[in-house]
Homo-oligomer: A and B are copies of this chain.
Amino acid sequence: MQALGRHILLELYQCNIETLNEPARIESILIEATKASGATIVSHDFHAFNPYGVSGVIIIAESHVTIHTWPEYGYAAVDIFTCGESIDPWVIQDKIASDLGSESTSTMEMKRGLFKMPQGESIHHKPLQGAIESI
């Protein structure tokens, strides 16, 4: 079986609580981590909640990176979904976990879009440099 995508589910416990509630800092951490992996950022969208917490998403040509923070629990849920073979999602995970100061991390990698290919044939990854249109 071959997979179209890799999806890392990242549970970050015991993070720096102040950082978890700083929307601009969270946005910057995610963008820098994503750039460090070589992924192509298509758009990003972050929101702060009242009384606390941040939700944000970065759409990348290779799929997405999302975060939701619960400062009251010192916890952040991060998802890193990539396709293709040109970028390493673990670069993103390492940088986010470190920048949020997580002292207890749990990670799982899921394969997404599994297909049985004919012998000797590889799954076709979409060209990532193609034009991208906003809808």
Contact = CB atoms under 8 A, between A and B. Distances in A.
Interface of A: 4-5, 7, 9, 11, 23-24, 27, 42-43, 45-57, 59, 61, 63-64, 66, 68, 70, 72-73, 75, 77, 79, 81, 83, 108, 110, 112-115, 124, 126-127, 130-135
A59 B21 CA distance: 17
5 contacts: A5-B68, A23-B133, A48-B132, A55-B59, A75-B113
Best-surrounded residue of A24, A66, A135 (most CB of chain B within 10 A):
A135
A26 to B, nearest CB: 9
A43 B42 contact: no
B63 A83 contact: no
Given A57-B57, A124-B72, A135-B23, A110 B9 contact: yes
A126 B68 contact: no
Nearest to A26: B135
B70 A113 contact: yes
